[in-house]
């Protein structure tokens, strides 16, 4: 069993980290939906992302758009924190 991940825990305590964690959870929920699985019985992440973020297309293209959105979000906030 690999225990390396447990040696350096991550603390999610800032608004940026909380939002990033939320985005990553949505990304992995959408990945499951692309494979035909659901994480919850409520609204799908696919329909949520299309409605709230305005993405267009099928599940795979929304996943690609959302992945790019996360990369842009991280890059934008990384540059802002360095300055």
Q: Long-range CB contacts (< 8 A, 24+ apart) of 74-79?
A: 74/20, 77/16
* Phi, psi at 79, each rounded to 5°: -65, -40
CA pair distance 66, 45, nearest whole angstrom: 11
Q: Which residues of the chain have pLDDT under 50?
A: 1, 83
Number of Cβ within a 10 Å radius of residue 17: 13
pLDDT at 1: 45
Name the residue ranges covered by the structural domains of the chain. 15-82
pLDDT at 60: 97
pLDDT at 2: 52
CA pair distance 7, 71, nearest whole angstrom: 26
């Amino acid at each position: 069993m690999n225990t390396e991940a447990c040696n350096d825990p991550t603390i999610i305590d800032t608004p940026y980290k909380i939002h990033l964690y939320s985005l990553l959870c949505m990304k992995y929920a959408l990945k499951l939906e692309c494979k035909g699985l659901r994480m919850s019985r409520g609204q799908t992440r696919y329909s949520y992302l299309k409605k709230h973020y305005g993405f267009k297309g099928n599940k795979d293209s929304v996943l690609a758009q959302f992945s790019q959105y996360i990369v842009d979000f991280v890059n934008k906030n990384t540059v802002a924190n360095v300055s």
